[in-house]
Structure 1
Amino acid sequence: MHFPLRQVVTAIVGIGALASLWYARAVYNTHTGTSFWLFWVAFALALGVWAAVIWFHWWRALPNAVRIPIGIVLCVALCGFGVSQAAIASHMRDEGDRNLDYIIVLGAQVHQGSPSLVLRYRLDRAAEYLRANPDTTCIVSGGQGPNEPYAEARGMADYLEHDAGIDASRIIEEPDSTTTVENLRNSRMIIDRASNTGSAGSAASEPSIGIVTNDFHVFRSLHIAHDQGYTDVYGIAAGSPRDMLLNNMVRESFAEAKYLIKR
């Protein structure tokens, strides 16, 4: 049986809309505390509208004065999204450098008695680095969110000390941050105070710093760090749940765009 191209394309777009709804439910069920699952619902609705546009020939009915600007906006948006995804991917395997003065572990959600899965990836990567580099000091950075039993920094320090076997003397808690920008700003203040007292070397020398975070988050973290004046800084990429990688990478593109607009 011959199916016109219009029917085939409409069916593919419709299947994409259903898949997006299914993925929205999967993201929602992770209970990460964010509302980005709504993006996939909105994306499903957009695909549904697209399917209707194809099926009913609405696009052809629009005048060129409407179609051309819409096409330009969509092309620019897709190109920008592609560039941001390439930038994110370019740092997903960063390993940092050896014998850094400090590593900063960026916070994520904690539960009563344990870190979230995403945060555990970061902490396990930090513990691995600290074992291999015994002179490095670790700053764990993260405040207490409305759905958390205590500050993320407290839960992170507990995990590193009691579960990963890292000596408590090597761990500094920064318990006030609520965003990546604050994580890096407040942690840098701790490092600068230590440098001024001479405990981390000469105040005139720039300490070497590694930022430990999930692979999809390294690019934006380094971008923010450079904007804040970090010079000798490296990304240290931890893993992340593979089934949520698509969601996390798309979310990072929006987060990077928001950062560029607000900075």
Structure 2
Amino acid sequence: MKNADKLKIVTTIIGILLFIYGLAFIFVFNQGTFVILFLAVVLLLWTRVKSVPATRFFKFLLVLGYIFFGAIMVFIAVAGTCDKASGDEDAVIVLGCKVNESGVSNSLKARLDTTLEYHSINPKAKIIVTGGQGSNEPMTEAEAMKRYLVANGVPENIIYKEDKSTSTNENFANSKKILENLFDDDYTACIITNSFHAYRSRGLAKLNGMNLTTYNAPTPYISMPVDYCREVLAVIKLWLFKY
């Protein structure tokens, strides 16, 4: 079998698998899903497009683009492990995520279970749960998060809801006001979010005048490729436009 035939088989198999994976997330379509589906189509067409100077140049640009994309992804993964919380902060900000009709999403459940873990270490810390209500959510993310934590033994009187935000940037802007009402300017706080989201979260917090550490929740394996692809685009936006 020629090398060209082997390459065609490999790219076809990987392309089909990526396409099926992307379709599995079609009902929660976001930029990460688009990147996965785009890569799948590129791989399926890679050896089927006639090789002329124009297509070879286009392929070269695609390879450079995906190397750059992959490098940022690795950076996000590594940088997300830095600036870890000490475990004795005055407060934690738990960032919201998708709420389904059936309950909290896998990513949000990971954040909330990590909050329970942190609470067992530092039960005196105030907990700010964040997130408004999307058009396809049955309630605000903050309310769903509060209910989950209370149902799992967290005292209701240490939980504060920030339920007006529609973005991570607004999470921090609104949470900062809550913290200042609770502690004035003398407090320490950390962020609880999934590991893929930690680096950008700290950056957005700094843009809102908050120097926070992170206490990372795991990223669910099933959504990890989509989550990291989406996050690369979000980090590029943060670097370019500062939001």
**TM, length-normalised to structure 1:** 0.83
- CA 1:33–1:19 in structure 2 vs 1: closer, same or farther (change >3 Å)? closer
- CA 1:226–1:83 in structure 2 vs 1: closer, same or farther (change >3 Å)? farther
Contact in 2 for aligned 1:87/1:219 (Cα 8 Å): no
SS at match of 2:192: strand
Paired amino acid for 2:48? A
- Give the Cα–Cα distance (whole angstroms) in 2 for the partners of residues 68 and 112 of structure 1: 47
Paired amino acid for 2:106? L
Deviations 1:190-242 (A, max 9, x none): 1123233xxxxxx3x3x2111101111111111211222222x1111111321
Residue 174 in structure 1 maps to residue 174 in structure 2:
no
Residue of structure 2 equivalent to 1:224: 204
- Displacement after TM superposition at 1:113 (Å): 6.4
Residue of structure 2 equivalent to 1:200: none
Which structure 2 residues correspond to residues 128-139 of structure 1 after superposition, within 5 A? Answer: 128-139=117-128
Paired amino acid for 1:89? A
1:83 corresponds, among 71, 74, 99, to 71
Identity level (%): 28
- Give the Cα–Cα distance (whole angstroms) in 2 for the partners of residues 10 and 130 of structure 1: 52
- Give the Cα–Cα distance (whole angstroms) in 2 for the partners of residues 253 and 92 of structure 1: 13
Contact in 2 for aligned 1:91/1:235 (Cα 8 Å): no
2:175 corresponds, among 184, 187, 193, to 187
Residue 103 in structure 1 maps to residue 92 in structure 2:
yes
Give unmatched runs, 5+ long, in structure 2.
Answer: none
RMSD, aligned CA = 2.3
Residue 147 in structure 1 maps to residue 145 in structure 2:
no
Paired amino acid for 2:204? I
Residue of structure 2 equivalent to 1:40: 36
Paired amino acid for 2:69? F
Residue of structure 1 equivalent to 2:18: 20
SS at match of 1:135: coil
- Displacement after TM superposition at 1:154 (Å): 0.7
- Give the Cα–Cα distance (whole angstroms) in 2 for the partners of residues 33 and 123 of structure 1: 23
- Displacement after TM superposition at 1:74 (Å): 4.0
Residue of structure 1 equivalent to 2:4: 6
2:232 corresponds, among 233, 245, 253, to 253
SS at match of 2:193: strand
Structure having greater relative contact order (Cα 8 Å, sep ≥ 6) = 2
Residue of structure 1 equivalent to 2:218: 239
- Displacement after TM superposition at 1:69 (Å): 7.8
- CA 1:7–1:67 in structure 2 vs 1: closer, same or farther (change >3 Å)? closer
Deviations 1:129-168 (A, max 9, x none): 0121022111000000000111110111111112x20001
Contact in 2 for aligned 1:113/1:155 (Cα 8 Å): no
SS at match of 1:250: helix
Contact in 1 for aligned 2:30/2:230 (Cα 8 Å): no
Instruction: Tell me the number of residue pairs that the alignment of Structure 1 and Structure 2 aligns.
Output: 241
- Give the Cα–Cα distance (whole angstroms) in 1 for the partners of residues 116 and 241 of structure 2: 34
